[in-house]
Structure 1
């Protein structure tokens, strides 16, 4: 995957917690979700969410976007209660 190589480059030169690296993590999560690779997507989604929370706080638009992306991925898997929890978190 081109996205995975891009992520590796960001991690190497900017570090794993840099905002641009987190964007690459989020993008990879989206690609994996579209491919139906939900387990891998979830790992990347949660990594992006944690990184955004640590970098920007829980109310930043990037953090809220990551919450929403995770909720969508959970819903697509039929994990409705977990998805609802994430959606409510985004609204609080």
Structure 2
């Protein structure tokens, strides 16, 4: 029941923020889970927006090069494409690829994944 999980996480976020603060690792984890289950429930626009906020939070708290920040950026771009904005996803992946190359190297599986996503959404944007 992914919609049920999404709703439970949506209720948990304000409690975590109130008790632990918005920058606590457990709060950020719950926000990440909310974004994931929002996507899994099929609300890609909502997931896109949730990941956009999470990217900002993780960048501020963990730094731009932290693996969790890079992971959130990947999901933000994917959800943007799935919400119908493939050109926007292409642009996000174009910004993510050099960061993954710099942080993880050109041959890391996570780098190769975002290179593939960039190629995919570049082709889809050009076909529109």
TM-score of the superposed pair, with normalisation by structure 2? 0.57
**Residue 7 (structure 1) aligned with residue 42 (structure 2):** no
* Aligned-partner Cα distance in 1 for 2:106–2:64: 19
* Aligned-partner Cα distance in 2 for 1:34–1:58: 26
Aligned runs of 1:1-92 on 2, under 5 Å? 1-78=49-126
| Kept in 1: contact 2:62–2:69 (CA 8 A) | yes
Offset of residue 16 of structure 1: 1.2
User: 5+ residue gaps in structure 2?
Assistant: 1-48
Q: Which has the higher contact order (CA 8 A, sep 6+)?
A: 1
User: 5+ residue gaps in structure 1?
Assistant: 80-92
Computed over aligned residues only, the root mean square deviation of the Cα atoms, in angstroms, reads 1.3
What CA deviation, in whole Å up to 9, does each residue of 1:18-46 have, x standing for no partner? 12111111110001111221332122101
Greater C-alpha radius of gyration: 2
| Kept in 1: contact 2:87–2:121 (CA 8 A) | no
Offset of residue 10 of structure 1: 0.6
